[in-house]
Amino acid sequence: MNPRTGRFAACAAPAAHDKYEFEKMIYPIVIYGNETLRKPSEPIAPDYPELKKLIEDMFLTLSEASGVGLAAPQIGKNIRLFIVDCTPWGDEEPACKDYKRAFINPEIYAASDETGLFNEGCLSLPGLYEEVRRPVAVRMRYLDENFVAHDEEFDGLRARVIQHEYDHLDGKVFTDHLSPLRRSLLKSKLLAFAKGKYRCSYKAR
Ligand code: NI
């Protein structure tokens, strides 16, 4: 997920001597129109090779793109894994402070009746922001990066980013939640992504 403000642009860069290793670990982000974003993702087995390295690389990729969430299909892998880094929201919501987590094989099994609107963006649809209605709270079971099981309730901005990233694992993007009218108004923009006509400050494909 892509936060709307540009105020996170000045993220700390790694030390210069790490540059080679650093660049090697950044994945290009898959842009709308690529079929990977539309495929349902597969559960991850505990023996999945180098999963911790992959999660670290995803955090680096997310930070380079100044995003708050990234799902594995967005780096071309159809596996049930997403990460969130809510630290950019730490000032406005205390629960987001230093909140960085990986979620493996998540299952959202309950959602609040109450819904809310939020202006969402996505690293796979650069520059596009739309008001999206979602439940304000969800309950989710998931495994962390050590395959420890958790069952938690999320609300506020964390519920928002978690639902956005979870959608990616089922081949959905945030524009799927818009009204048919709104989607038809965005048709040419969405087609432009698929044709490679977009601009973003991070590596993309
Ligand atoms: Ni997204």
State the distance from the centre of ligand 1 to the C-alpha of 16, rounded, in angstroms.
Answer: 30
Q: Which domain holds residue 27?
A: 23-194
Q: Is residue 205 part of a domain?
A: no
Q: Is residue 201 part of a domain?
A: no
Q: Is residue 7 part of a domain?
A: no
Measured distance CA(88)–CA(82) in Å, rounded: 17
Q: What tens digit of pLDDT does each residue of 76-97 get?
A: 999 999 999 999 999 999 999 9
The pLDDT score that the predictor gives to residue 18 is: 55
The pLDDT score that the predictor gives to residue 8 is: 46
State the distance from the centre of ligand 1 to the C-alpha of 62, rounded, in angstroms.
Answer: 11
State the distance from the centre of ligand 1 to the C-alpha of 122, rounded, in angstroms.
Answer: 4
In this structure, are residues 160 and 134 in contact, taking their beta carbons and an 8 Å threshold? yes
Measured distance CA(54)–CA(27) in Å, rounded: 10
Measured distance CA(138)–CA(152) in Å, rounded: 8
The pLDDT score that the predictor gives to residue 19 is: 55
Q: Is residue 89 part of a domain?
A: yes
| pLDDT beneath 50: ranges in the chain | 6-14, 23
Residue 157: name the closest of 108, 111, 89 by CA: 89
Neighbours of ion ligand 1 (CB under 5 A): 122
- Largest alpha-carbon pair distance within the chain? 51
CATH code of the domain containing 160: 3.90.45.10
State the distance from the centre of ligand 1 to the C-alpha of 113, rounded, in angstroms.
Answer: 23
Q: Is residue 14 part of a domain?
A: no
- A 10 A CB-CB count for 95 gives 14
Q: Is residue 53 part of a domain?
A: yes
The number of distinct structural domains making up the chain is 1
The pLDDT score that the predictor gives to residue 11 is: 43
Measured distance CA(173)–CA(175) in Å, rounded: 6
Q: Is residue 3 part of a domain?
A: no
Query: Choosing from 64, 120, 130, 165, which is the catalytic residue?
Result: 165
Measured distance CA(11)–CA(88) in Å, rounded: 10
116 residue type, one letter: G
The pLDDT score that the predictor gives to residue 4 is: 74
The pLDDT score that the predictor gives to residue 24 is: 62
Q: Is residue 204 part of a domain?
A: no
Residue 21 is a catalytic residue: no
pTM of the model: 0.89
